[in-house]
A = this chain, B = another copy of it.
Amino acid sequence: KHSDDPYDFARLPGDHITHYDLNKLTATSSALSHKEKVLILTPMASFHQQYWDNLLRLSYPRELIELGFIVPRTSDGDEALRNLETAIKKVQNPKAKTIPKFARVTVLRQDTDAVESQLEKDRHAFKSQKKRRSQMATARNSLLFTTLGPFTSWVLWLDADVVETPVNLIQDMTGHNKAVLAANCWQRFYDEEKKEDSIRPYDYNNWVESDEGLRIASQLDDDEIIVEGYSDLATYRPLMAHFYDAEGDPNVEMQLDGVGGTCLMVKSQVHRDGAMFPNFPFYHLIETEGFAKMAKRLGYDVFGLPNYLIFHINE
């Protein structure tokens, strides 16, 4: 009597009752054969065509994918919103019958504060990190709390400036069957010295806790935070970015204590149990790094794939 397909809104029962048995919702290593639904969440300060093209290349069936975006209330955000909506409409247009459609697309315009300037040197300055990361945490939470449905099996956090991933990204990452799993985010660049195209590590938020990291944390005031990737605060935490082995097995897993959000696959149950992105210091960590700690407090293990590369834009 109730529609089995929660996406089929036209068929939602006239009584507007929907009934879900969370026991029957799976998140397994065979996501595709179980038709598990994946929610891709992207906070988006700027729209990059390469991000969108990469998203459209993903081989997981679009009818099993929901998209959620949150754009800041800034002039950058307004431009991103216009470009995003134009791109979405081309795909989702009911008249474009041959283009497969995403199950649902939700676009949110943020109500909380955002930083106007998004120049890389500004946003990476250590002193602006606490405020910025805390605002990012709030944006991620707004997006998550508002879009997660009772039928979502997996949440893929994918930053708007991730421009290249394997086409089987979703199958590959769900295949590991981990509660939380981070890909290794690198960047393409032109090596002026060697005069050739090359790659270098980009995201330093995927790390393993160190004795020194714990020692520093134990000496901090309650409201102080550690953000990884700054040499002024040497934690000696092993960073997944440095574990990449071009010759190694791309399926190698390593256990992590902190994660970044550039490309992060999360079983929806982890979020549903309460794991969010703290915008306040949580064990001296915030945002995605605080999320990893929270997932661990909720009893889940956190992993990364050092040899599985995805690429950040190089502007």
Binds B, one of A88-96, A206-214, A230-238, A242-250: A88-96
Residues of A at the B interface (CB closer than 8 Å) are 7, 9-10, 12, 14-23, 25, 73, 85, 88-89, 92-94, 101-112, 137-138, 141-142, 144-150, 269, 271-274, 276-280, 297-298
A150 near B106 (CB under 8 angstroms)? yes
Q: How many copies does the complex hold?
A: 2
B274 near A109 (CB under 8 angstroms)? no
A274 near B276 (CB under 8 angstroms)? yes
Q: How far is the CA of A102 from the CA of B13 in the complex (A)?
A: 13
Given known A-B contacts A9-B9, A145-B145, A148-B145, A16 and B137 have beta carbons under 8 A apart = no
B73 near A23 (CB under 8 angstroms)? yes
B15 near A112 (CB under 8 angstroms)? no
A150 near B108 (CB under 8 angstroms)? yes
* Smallest CB separation, A128 vs chain B (Å): 19
A298 near B273 (CB under 8 angstroms)? no
Given known A-B contacts A9-B12, A150-B146, A276 and B279 have beta carbons under 8 A apart = no
* Smallest CB separation, A19 vs chain B (Å): 5
Given known A-B contacts A73-B23, A111-B25, A146-B149, A16 and B92 have beta carbons under 8 A apart = yes
Interface-centre pick from A104, A142, A144 (highest chain B CB count, 10 A): A142
